[in-house]
Amino acid sequence: MGQHPKANLRIDTIVGQHAAMLSERLQAHRAQLFPPHARKELRKFTSGEVADLLGVKDAYLRKLSLESKGPDPEIRGNGRRFYSPDDIVALREYLEKGAKVPGTYMPGRRPGDHLQVISVINFKGGSGKTTTSAHLAQKLALDGYRVLAVDVDPQASFSALHGFQPEFDLLDGGTLYDAIRYDDPVSIRDVIQKTYFRNLDIIPGNLDLMEFEHDTPRALAQRDGSLFFTRVGDALAEVEDDYDVVIVDCPPQLGFLTMSALSAATAVLVTVHPQMLDVMSMCQFLLMTSNLLGVVAEAGGDMSYDWLRYVVTRYEPGDGPQNQMVSFMRSMFGEHVLNHTMLKSTAISDAGLTKQTLWEIEKSQFTRSTYDRAIESITNVCSEIETLIQDAWGRNNGA
């Protein structure tokens, strides 16, 4: 047999070279977007946007401003009023004092409410999982919840969206792995970072998280009494009082990290792209999840959830086969499928090119109808999930 012509091409070498080139180019791209030492900052919001967020009329905000009640907005050309994220929080605090129903403007936890931990999962990349997680975390923060986002995906797209470039910013660790490793774990407080979003903190991710996948079989073999599936929950318990909601962006495979995140969760959100291949993948994923979590439950893991929902992502309403797939899912899973969908939108994908979400980007960069459609779709999904959070706390209709 003659030697295979590719025998001298080492895939580890070529992949390493490509990674180095790509990393260098990405660093240059980031330096252009955000010069060294620059931190991302959140834009100011128009009075109309703030009125929508607070559920009040724009005219009412104008009245407050004229009467010097609440924070002073920035007045720009044509008398347009703009509010910073801190101003929005101050407005919430001001309005809550006069609210007829407690929690109208400050909707977070009250004594006796348990921390909501929402794990966002999917087995197939490209399902819009990270986009959904990021928009949900940011919207809840804008809505007055104290949010912790945890990136447990080694690919760290969620972290990148929030201004962290894993291979440059986390050279000395700083991921959840540090807090859940078996040898000498640190306090979870040591790995939590503030973001440029008021009320939103993050534990960023990087490839260090893969170590947990490698360490766990060893720990299981040694039977040292440390249960892998309680580690994320135990770490989160340290900061339970600091947050209302935790959003966990899981890796797109069912390893020890995902199982540990599911064990820590009080709710599960499964993103689904409504294509036949994706739904078939999801079927296999659900079968595996069920089997593995059954084993975890038998070993003492807490598998009780407040809710589980499927959210249809990257949805194109004009696509016949997609509509059939959505109807098929609704007929099978009923109320477990969210009523609202995340539309496929050039606004979302274009914002992603500059590592931004729709809450960050200036709407003037898009045609109004494109932006409004995308924002409406995301807002509806987030509002539906917010209702589920409130229901889990035993509150309905804001009561």
Decide: 178 and 191 in contact? Cβ < 8 Å: yes
Query: How do residues 337-391 score in pLDDT, each as one tens digit?
Result: 999 999 888 888 878 777 788 888 887 788 888 888 989 999 999 999 999 999 9
Q: How many CA atoms lie within 13 A of 40 on its CB side?
A: 21
Question: What amino acid is encoded at 276 in this protein?
Answer: M
CA 105 vs CA 191, 279, 326, 342: distances in Å: 30, 39, 34, 25
CA 192 vs CA 55, 174, 196, 386: distances in Å: 31, 8, 13, 24
Q: Can you give the C-alpha Rg of the chain in angstroms?
A: 22
Q: Phi first, then psi: what are they for 28, rounded to 5°?
A: -65, -40
**Angle in degrees, CA 352, 312, 303, rounded to 5:** 105
Beta bridge partner(s), residue 44: none
Tell me which of 62 and 286 has the higher pLDDT: 62
Decide: 174 and 204 in contact? Cβ < 8 Å: yes
Tell me which of 123 and 357 has the higher pLDDT: 357
* Mean pLDDT within 121-148: 89
Displacement of CA 253 from its chain's centroid (Å): 17
What pLDDT is stored for residue 108 in this prediction? 94
As to burial, measured by CB atoms within 10 angstroms (0-12 exposed, 13-18 middle, 19+ buried), residue 302 is middle
* Mean pLDDT within 149-162: 91
* Mean pLDDT within 40-57: 88
Residues 6+ apart with CB under 8 A from 89: 144, 198, 199
Of 114-128, 175-189, 281-295, the one with minimum mean pLDDT is: 281-295
Q: How confident is the model at residue 119 (pLDDT cuts 50, 70, 90)?
A: very high
Whether the pLDDT of residue 50 is over 50: the answer is: yes
Q: What is the DSSP letter of 153?
A: -
Q: How confident is the model at residue 4 (pLDDT cuts 50, 70, 90)?
A: very low
Tell me which of 181 and 33 has the higher pLDDT: 181
DSSP string, 110-148: -TTPPPEEEEEE-SSTTSSHHHHHHHHHHHHHHTT--EE
Of 90-104, 115-129, 138-152, the one with minimum mean pLDDT is: 115-129
What pLDDT is stored for residue 399 in this prediction? 44
Whether the pLDDT of residue 113 is over 90: the answer is: yes
* Mean pLDDT within 288-315: 80
Of 37-41, 172-176, 254-258, the one with minimum mean pLDDT is: 37-41
d(CA 284, CA 180): 28
Q: How confident is the model at residue 263 (pLDDT cuts 50, 70, 90)?
A: confident
Q: Find the helix or strand (DSSP H, E) in which 297 lies.
A: helix 276-298
Whether the pLDDT of residue 141 is over 70: the answer is: yes
- Count of residues in the chain: 399
CA 173 vs CA 19, 246, 284: distances in Å: 20, 21, 34
Whether the model pTM is above 0.75: yes
Query: How do residues 185-241 score in pLDDT, each as one tens digit?
Result: 999 999 999 998 899 999 999 889 999 998 888 887 776 556 778 899 999 999 999
Query: How do residues 220-229 score in pLDDT, each as one tens digit?
Result: 777 655 677 8
Whether the pLDDT of residue 120 is over 80: the answer is: yes
Whether the pLDDT of residue 65 is over 50: the answer is: yes
Residue with tokens 């919430």: 92
CA 71 vs CA 57, 61, 105, 361: distances in Å: 16, 10, 15, 23
d(CA 338, CA 311): 5
Of 31-40, 243-252, 343-352, 368-377, the one with minimum mean pLDDT is: 31-40
Name the residue among 373, 327, 374, 312 with its Cα closest to residue 349: 374
What pLDDT is stored for residue 27 in this prediction? 66
What is the average pLDDT score of the chain? 84
As to burial, measured by CB atoms within 10 angstroms (0-12 exposed, 13-18 middle, 19+ buried), residue 271 is buried
Name the residue among 318, 213, 210, 224 with its Cα closest to residue 274: 318
* Mean pLDDT within 250-272: 88
Neighbours of 23 (CB within 10 A): 13
Q: How confident is the model at residue 150 (pLDDT cuts 50, 70, 90)?
A: very high
d(CA 186, CA 181): 9
Of 160-164, 318-322, 351-355, 383-387, the one with minimum mean pLDDT is: 351-355
What pLDDT is stored for residue 236 in this prediction? 96
Name the residue among 329, 309, 310 with its Cα closest to residue 321: 329
